[in-house]
Structure 1
Amino acid sequence: MGAQLSAYLMSENARSQANFYLETLGGEILSLKTFGEAPGTPEEVKDKIMHLSLMVAGRNMLMISDSFEPVSSSRSISLALTFDNESEAKEAYAKLGEGGENKYPFALQPWGAYYGEVIDKFGVTWMITKP
């Protein structure tokens, strides 16, 4: 069986979250659909994001949608980014942590790789590695 796994994030502000990832990791929005594009959408939610796909940090697909209920963060899932370049990894760690929480400092680990963990200001946990 062949399949591709992509992260799909539910957000309380999908536009803001997508823009944050584009600023911190680089990339581009590939597709953006609002609920207003669907017939019969109530006026108060027409500008909310139904589906937004973006490419970040090279060729990594993220998808985001506005949630109609409060979004809670969970430690059961983390997004892992592995960089070839130490300075790019340090920069991503620092930028993703702005306004969030540095859970584990980005540093050389006993197993020989650089690793750090942050929870961004939207509650998403990122594991940053440079082998």
Structure 2
Amino acid sequence: MTRLLPYLVMDGNAKEAVEFYEKALKASVFGVQTFGEMPANPDYPLPEEAKNRVSHAMIKVGETDMMLSDTFPGTPHEKGNHVTICIMADTKEQAKEFYEALKEGGQVTMPLQETFWSPAYGIVIDKFGVTFQISTEA
């Protein structure tokens, strides 16, 4: 079943936000991973200041899942791009269909590709300026 999830992008304070929402919204925390815990890529060495930033966190508020992460150091963090919508597709084919449709008249931020967490993941800003992260359940 395809799901739309709110995705909050923070600027170095995602761990604090997870703790805040856990208390304020009685959220359940399902995981917090830092950039330093991700598999190393020798082609893109990880700067020291990125290691403790959150690469991905998942919380649940009531029946709703919400994801959070920090920006990668040097990536601009502006109001308007710090809240995105993540589309969790059932298959790679469905992810590609969403990706192709949303990029029409829009802008690709990250091409659809296989990652260590998803068989198909990409980021598109649609023609209305809404940022969508398209992912496939692993």
**Structure 1 length as normaliser, TM-score?**
0.50
Q: Which has the larger radius of gyration?
A: 1
Tell me: higher relative CO, structure 1 or 2? Use CA pairs within 8 A at least 6 residues apart: 2
